[in-house]
A and B are shown apart, each in its own frame.
Chain A
Amino acid sequence: MDRTQVVIIGGGATGAGILWDLSLRGIAAVLLEKRDLANGATGRCHGLLHSGARYAVKDAEAARECLRENRILKTIAPHCIHDVGGLFVRYPQDDPAFFTAWDRACADIGLPTAPLSAAEALDLEPNLPSGILGASTCPDAHVDVFQLTLSNLQAAVARGGRFRAYAEVTAIERRGGQVTGVRFRDTLSGDEDSIDCEMVVNAGGGWAQQVAALAGLHVPVRCDKGSLLVLNHNLVTRVVNRCRKPGDADILVPAGPVCILGTSSITVSGPEGLRAETDEIEALLKLGTELVPCMAESRVLRIFSGVRPLYVPQGADKAGGREISRGFALLDHGVEDNLDGFVSIVGGKLTTYRLMAEKTCDLVASRLGVDEPCRTAETPLRPPTPEAVTRKIRHLLPAQAASIVERRLGPAMAQLAERIEADPDMAEILCECEQVTRAEVAMVMAVDAKVPVRTINDVGRRCRLGFGSCQGTFCGYRAMLEGYRQGLWPAEAAAADFKRYLDERWKGQAQIPNGKQLEQLMLSHDLFGPSHHFHSDGEG
């Protein structure tokens, strides 16, 4: 029987942050995630590292919190952040009263902004519409959500924390009023297992309600669906916010080589089976075109939906999705429901994940009688990269591949260099859009990786393979073969996983109204259907 002190349920940024925080405090913990890391809201958002400017007018406290966390994360996780800066753009069709309110609110909070004339803003972002009235800068940034979650997990594992993907908790064991452990099932193999523990942390995000139900408790979470569009290249190089009362499709985030527009806001019954509706997509595109007119002709790569898990305290569930505070709630079920050792962390937003983890771990530590303070605000998630390693990689790889992998791997580039030096063929690029080398894919696939992979999709979440225009049509195949060569999977399992991978990718593209990605999708269908008799999507 496996034992640990704390079991965390949910492998989003919050769960990963908790694992890291506990590991830093010397508390033994296991994180169980029913799919792979960042599968829920974390992996299905803009990846916007808020400066707080978005909340300044409505909720100064939330804004201050964001600003603090924004600064902390830029210090402890610079490799996860594209510090591109943000603009709040004043469109002629929006309420000028909001512009002044926004200026005042930002000043009150101490949020550093600088006004730009329309001409200056257009000079920085030529794709903005020429009719804009002006803009202000703010310290918004893009955060690579997969990298952030992965880095927390890797840092935690290096400190003794444990992460298990594809481990779905099926029961929370209790003896009297005390949690004693969890049972879980491997969702890929079907194997059942269990862990004894002193405490369970429910970091299930959109699934927090279902997780609590396993302990017979009710955690009121409302799922608010947000759909987002991924555009094929950087239409803007800074985060572009529409300066108005927050609404649909008013944020465009440059996310590496692509950019992401979102979101919608629709209350749904649960976190599973999300799908963007046709009119929802059309509305997003229409609003996106107001933001940046050339979006009308730009290629949409993918559409995805996630849920904002909104905590709905008693009596407050009447208002619409956006009206509930984005603040988070930490529920000590020992106090609230007489179940000792069970804690739920609900609500919140990506930017404040570390703070949520800190508060949760403060509570967990005090319950466990551990007197270690939180150190995540000062401890870098990753040690610095030795200059010699960077130099070596720059020598071994083209400039663009080196600079991209530098951010992803940091000091681990030493192993990358070793692999390439041992076999120069490993420098070959498998994923062209994201410049991922065979060596990096092999590292991701290594059995001793800190956060191992089990599917091609997992590979993508580690190194962004398949995130570009081909959506895995070419590089997914190459990754499958690489996994086969690395002994990760035998031929049949490899082929079966590649089919699942294609299905999932095809699904993500099928709803796109704009014709360009449709061409890519048809190419993929033709290649794997009529041309190679490998897989068809059932359309005929």
Chain B
Amino acid sequence: MNLKLIINIAQSLLVARWRQTLVAAVGVTFGITMFIALLSFMSGLNDLLDGLVVNRTPHIRLYNDIRPRRHQPVTLWPAYQNTYPMISSLKSGNIRQEIYNSGPIIQALQQNKAVLGVAPTITAQVFFNDGTVDINGVINGIDVKAETKLFHFDDYIVAGKATDLNTVPNSIILGIALAQKLVANVGDIVQITTSTGAIFQLKVVGFFQSGLQDFDKAQSYASINTTQKILGKSSLYITDIRVKLYDINQAPALAKSFARIYGVDAEDIQTANSQFETGSFVRSLISYAVGITLLIVAGFGIYNILNMMIYEKMDTIAILKATGFAGRDVKAVFLVIAIAIGLFGGITGLISGFGLSVVINHIPFHTAALPTVKTYPINYNPLFYFIGISFSLITTYLAGWLPARKASKIDPVIIIRGK
């Protein structure tokens, strides 16, 4: 088949009916525009909402859980080796919260190729003393650098600087709701009492806002050293190791293997936050469904217009066939017309979809949840553009296929005799 000639004929037919062509192409353009804008926006929102949790949640968390000891004395007693003992009123034992050998474990994890980074933490339960009132709170001892790199700690600091935790001795960053309760400003000193009764004075170097009110009411951050001092522990004392992976999907498998290798408890993000996965999946599904519906509607528009064009061009088709064009050539002409509409409409759709995304990305959007977010989020993922253009070509091809087949089956004798 002579493709150049086919394209040439298709082009002439298109130009002769450029208004109809334009209407068909505008249908596709609209579909693709909305598809791109909707998916980018939805995906941006998804990332934002997931980020609320996922950004701050480690993919794997290593810790020692409080629970009854696995090996009770009775199971070690030789006389009961081959029996099943029943123990009632079993209590959790005095398991140390500390992770043994935390230094070597952290080093080993950092060398693991699947691991993006490791952040050791300590949690300390304390009371914030505000005059006669004691407020229950938690101090998280963190490695500021690792925390910022892995968990976007910086993004949630609304006053002061995160790095001050390292440079200012005995310093603390308070949750904004906690700070309001304590009527504390940056630079003020707050007093805390630990669970063992020790009293400390800490300097407030900043506030953070997570967007979860309950979280902000109780949480505060200090450096690992400061927290170890508050708890009266050595500089090796670590209660949690928080791991971020390159591939989040490997978390459940790796968590199991880490738990076995290092003899600790390991919790993966999927188990800890399964509902977020479901939420973002459903949201993506809805946006894809709406986008694809728009394209299918555009496809019907193309189908209609091509059908009309074929009725109008019966004479042309008959003459082409009489002068030696086979049915498949005629079919190719109409398929080329359909795909040209799809390609033209699709590319304009991609461009205006990108434009609309940029516009949405500039609409102001203030939320307490994310202090760094000032406008509606957009995910400029090239994948959406790829899906958009492929889908526009596929729909137009399918929409053109039936009319093209009809055109190829037209009997020139009937048309020529008809007059």
A binds B: no
List A residues at the B interface (Cβ < 8 Å). Answer: none
